[in-house]
């Protein structure tokens, strides 16, 4: 739910909704009930919702209620036109409109269908969400240019969840970016030895990272390219070769600096 341009009361409403509804929905299926004190049908439906939520609590289902009179801004965001209005939310997004499911059997039938399709499972669901957070953290650290730290995060996830393909792939890519080719190859072999991981599409990207690593020039080769570029400042082919080698070696800043320097020296270079 967007929070830009909100006044103070609206921001507080969003914060409450995030805490009471969105955060629980990250690991649970939330039955979101829009109601009001004066609404007779709402009061008739409440016991049904509470019973179903209690019966399905061990399956990862929780009930959250929003009073439309007290939380008018939230109700407007969901375009509530009449009450009771009931949604099922998962990971912050509506996944089903439960408004027409007024009986216990109808609600349970719909919930059974949703639970069969969504990765929800009480404590198991929480553990999966925690693992996903660690994988996302590893990807963020890797994207920020710290492959060694990212490798440490992914290695911990692999230890916690040996069948988490995304963690194996992240570990391989992080090791490759860190220049640890042998370790990356060993990590790939370990991943391919796990049947549920070996066929995962995420390993394809990891294999590509290893192939790039094999083509990566070592420091000695890169030094030669660097020296030639320094000795031939007007030879753009030589300088371009160094920039490409630096990029392949993972030194992206050096490659960018060299290309910018070439353009500044000759703005018509590579045109036409």
Topology of the domain comprising 124-214: 1.25.40
Instruction: Give the model's pLDDT for residue 208.
Output: 75
Confidence of residue 269 (pLDDT cuts 50, 70, 90): low
Percentage, residues of the chain above pLDDT 90:
46
Domain ranges of the chain: 8-120, 124-214, 219-265
Those residues whose C-beta lies under 8 Å from the C-beta of residue 179, and which sit 6 or more positions away, are: 213, 216, 250
Report helix, strand or coil for 163. coil
- Is the pLDDT score of 249 beyond 80? no
pLDDT digits (tens, 9 = 90+) for 172-224: 999 988 878 889 889 999 999 998 888 888 888 788 777 766 666 667 777 88
Whole-angstrom distance, CA of residue 150 vs CA of residue 226: 29
Give this prediction's pTM: 0.45
Whole-angstrom distance, CA of residue 1 vs CA of residue 10: 11
Concatenated DSSP letters of 30-94: EEEEEE-TT-HHHHHHHHHHHHHHHHTGGGTEEEEEEETTT-HHHHHHTT--SSSEEEEEETTEE
Instruction: Give the model's pLDDT for residue 265.
Output: 77
Catalytic residues: 39, 42
Tokens (6 digits) for 37: 């004190």
Evaluate the CA torsion angle 205, 208, 212, 213 in order and state its sign. positive
The verdict on whether omega for the bond into residue 84 sits within 30 degrees of 0, i.e. cis, is yes
Is the CATH number 3.40.30.10 carried by domain 8-120?
yes
In 3D space, the residue among 130, 115, 117, 12 whose CA is nearest the CA of residue 62 turns out to be 115
pLDDT digits (tens, 9 = 90+) for 45-89: 999 999 999 999 888 899 999 999 999 999 999 999 999 999 999
Evaluate the CA torsion angle 87, 88, 93, 94 in order and state its sign. negative
Confidence of residue 42 (pLDDT cuts 50, 70, 90): very high
Report the range of poorest mean pLDDT among 17-31, 139-153, 257-271: 257-271
Higher pLDDT, 262 or 38: 38
Token pair 């070769």 is found at 241
Instruction: Give the model's pLDDT for residue 246.
Output: 76
CA–CA–CA angle 17, 22, 25 (5° rounding): 140
Instruction: Share the mean pLDDT of the chain.
Output: 85
On the question of a common fold for 8-120 and 124-214, the answer reads no
Whole-angstrom distance, CA of residue 216 vs CA of residue 224: 14
pLDDT digits (tens, 9 = 90+) for 106-138: 999 999 999 988 877 555 555 666 788 889 999
């Amino acid at each position: 739910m967007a929070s830009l341009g909100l006044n103070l009361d609206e921001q507080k409403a969003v914060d409450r909704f995030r805490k009471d509804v969105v955060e629980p929905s990250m690991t649970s299926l939330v039955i979101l009930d829009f109601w009001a004190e004066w609404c007779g049908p709402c009061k008739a439906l409440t016991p049904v919702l509470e019973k179903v939520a209690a019966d399905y609590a061990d399956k990862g289902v929780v009930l959250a209620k929003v009073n439309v009179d007290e939380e008018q801004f939230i109700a407007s965001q969901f375009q509530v036109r009449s009450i009771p209005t009931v949604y099922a939310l998962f990971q912050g997004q509506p996944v089903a409109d439960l408004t027409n499911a007024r009986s216990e059997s109808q609600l349970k039938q719909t919930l059974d269908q949703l639970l069969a399709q969504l990765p929800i499972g009480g404590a198991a669901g929480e553990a999966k969400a925690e693992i996903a957070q660690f994988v996302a953290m590893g990807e963020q650290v890797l994207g920020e240019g710290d492959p060694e730290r990212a490798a440490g995060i992914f290695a911990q996830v692999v230890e916690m969840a040996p069948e988490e393909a995304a963690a194996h792939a992240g570990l391989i890519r992080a090791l490759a970016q860190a220049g640890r080719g042998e370790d990356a190859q060993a990590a790939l072999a370990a991943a391919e030895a796990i049947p549920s991981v070996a066929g995962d599409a995420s390993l394809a990207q990891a294999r590509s990272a290893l192939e790039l690593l094999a083509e990566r020039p070592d420091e000695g080769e890169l030094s030669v390219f660097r020296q030639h570029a320094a000795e031939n400042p007007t030879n753009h082919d030589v300088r371009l070769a160094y920039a490409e080698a630096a990029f392949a070696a993972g030194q992206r800043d050096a490659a960018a600096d060299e290309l910018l320097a070439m353009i500044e020296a000759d703005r018509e270079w590579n045109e036409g």
